């Protein structure tokens, strides 16, 4: 019979403890919180440092802030050490004030000043700047690093500029630049394009594990980042840009980084575009796609089987893309390991899949 030594017993107990208690294991935990077509993605290091990328929408009695706080509680963290606000749109910056009423936010990272105009957007921006004035504030540029535990956090785009030198492990010619078609005004005028183009986009490395989260950086801005040389390199987990809308996610980006899994933070009617599903599917090795929501535009032909989708309800969606749904919501959780392997779990049904180290 095998004798379990006290040391081995400790290891066994550690392995059996909940996956996402800050500091209890050696995983980077990532939560893509469902904020109904906004963005809110929480990263927690093995030693419990936290970095949140965006805060979801304002309003709804603090719905999105509550959902982020629930993910933070699950991860065992009681403050946000670094908040990256990718850009100053309501679905990204909007929940910050309500979140700060639930969890202290220590460092505010962003691209500086909105390029948007209009009374409502400027008023929303002022609410945020009043808040960030109460913490440490840093405007970042491409190539800057954030000291989040032992993660390798590198800014790859900000304020309309992109990296001019490749990340470690990147820099090869990108064959998917051939045939790149720039979007014209007919497409770029559809959304708040100018502010989207300022998005703070971030590479997050943890040992051999590599991921990227880009806010709403647009298709045309992907070109200088990825062409003619690929400055990002291979990615394990792609957090799908711009909610999966057709104004981001070019072949030059998606096919070059060749992710093994992707998570799309779409809402029922926000993002989740047919073109985005099709481009991901057309990769040489299509990534396993997970979705925060069932996509109504995607329909039966394009949505993944329901076990890959965290939230299935079709709900009232307002003209500005906000979904009114107030009930229970589910996140997608990723436990990433230093060897580059990672496990993705749908919190609605417990369905999970593990991806081994990259070959």
Residues in contact with Zn ion by CB under 5 A are: 89, 91, 196, 216
Are 89 and 216 spatial neighbours (Cβ–Cβ below 8 Å)? yes
Are 343 and 353 spatial neighbours (Cβ–Cβ below 8 Å)? yes
- Which residue lies nearer to Zn ion by CB, 196 or 230? 196
- Which residue lies nearer to Zn ion by CB, 216 or 222? 216
Query: In terms of DSSP H, where are the helices of the chain?
Result: 6-16, 63-75, 90-93, 96-100, 119-132, 185-188, 193-196, 219-226, 251-257, 274-281, 299-302
Cβ of residue 196: shortest distance to Zn ion, in angstroms? Answer: 4
Compute CA distances 150 → 46, 145, 337, 349, whole Å. Answer: 9, 12, 13, 31
- Which residue lies nearer to Zn ion by CB, 89 or 132? 89
Cβ of residue 323: shortest distance to Zn ion, in angstroms? Answer: 13
Q: Tell me phi and psi for residue 62, to 5 degrees.
A: 75, 25
Cβ of residue 204: shortest distance to Zn ion, in angstroms? Answer: 19
- Which residue lies nearer to Zn ion by CB, 91 or 230? 91
- Which residue lies nearer to Zn ion by CB, 196 or 236? 196
- Which residue lies nearer to Zn ion by CB, 28 or 200? 200
Cβ of residue 124: shortest distance to Zn ion, in angstroms? Answer: 12
Are 56 and 64 spatial neighbours (Cβ–Cβ below 8 Å)? yes
If one counts every other C-beta atom within 10 angstroms of the C-beta of residue 133, the result is 9
**Alpha carbon 167 to chain centroid, angstroms:** 19
Compute CA distances 305 → 15, 163, 220, whole Å. Answer: 30, 37, 31
Cβ of residue 188: shortest distance to Zn ion, in angstroms? Answer: 13
Cβ of residue 320: shortest distance to Zn ion, in angstroms? Answer: 11
């Amino acid at each position: 019979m095998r004798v379990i030594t006290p040391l081995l017993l400790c290891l066994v107990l550690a392995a059996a403890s909940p996956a996402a208690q800050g500091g209890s294991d050696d995983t980077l935990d990532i939560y893509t919180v469902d904020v109904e077509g906004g963005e809110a993605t929480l990263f927690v290091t093995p030693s419990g440092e936290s970095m949140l990328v965006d805060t979801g929408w304002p309003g709804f009695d603090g719905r999105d802030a509550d959902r982020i706080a629930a993910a933070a509680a699950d991860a065992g963290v009681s403050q946000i050490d670094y908040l990256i606000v990718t850009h100053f749109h309501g679905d990204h910056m909007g929940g910050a004030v309500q979140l700060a009423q639930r969890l202290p936010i220590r460092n505010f990272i962003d691209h500086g000043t909105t390029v948007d105009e209009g009374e409502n957007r400027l008023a929303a921006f002022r609410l945020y700047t009043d808040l960030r004035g109460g913490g440490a504030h840093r405007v970042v540029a491409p190539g800057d690093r954030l000291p989040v535990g032992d993660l390798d956090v590198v800014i790859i785009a900000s304020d309309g500029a992109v990296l001019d030198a490749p990340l470690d492990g990147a820099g090869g010619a990108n064959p998917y630049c051939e045939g790149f078609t720039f979007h014209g005004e007919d497409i770029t005028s559809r959304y708040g394009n100018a502010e989207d183009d300022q998005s703070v986009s971030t590479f997050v490395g943890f040992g051999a594990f590599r991921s990227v989260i880009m806010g709403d950086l647009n298709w045309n801005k992907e070109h200088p980042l990825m062409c003619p040389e690929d400055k990002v390199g291979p990615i394990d987990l792609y957090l799908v840009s711009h909610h999966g809308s057709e104004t981001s996610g070019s072949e030059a980006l998606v096919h070059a980084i060749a992710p093994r899994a992707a998570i799309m933070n779409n809402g029922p009617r926000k993002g989740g575009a047919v073109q985005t599903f099709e481009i991901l599917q057309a990769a040489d090795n299509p990534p396993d796609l997970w979705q925060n929501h069932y996509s109504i535009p995607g329909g039966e032909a394009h949505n993944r089987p329901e076990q890959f989708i965290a939230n299935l309800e079709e709900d009232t969606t307002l003209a500005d893309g906000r979904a009114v749904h107030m009930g229970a919501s589910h996140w997608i959780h990723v436990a990433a390991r230093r060897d580059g392997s990672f496990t993705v779990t749908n919190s609605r049904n417990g369905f999970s899949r593990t991806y081994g180290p990259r070959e």
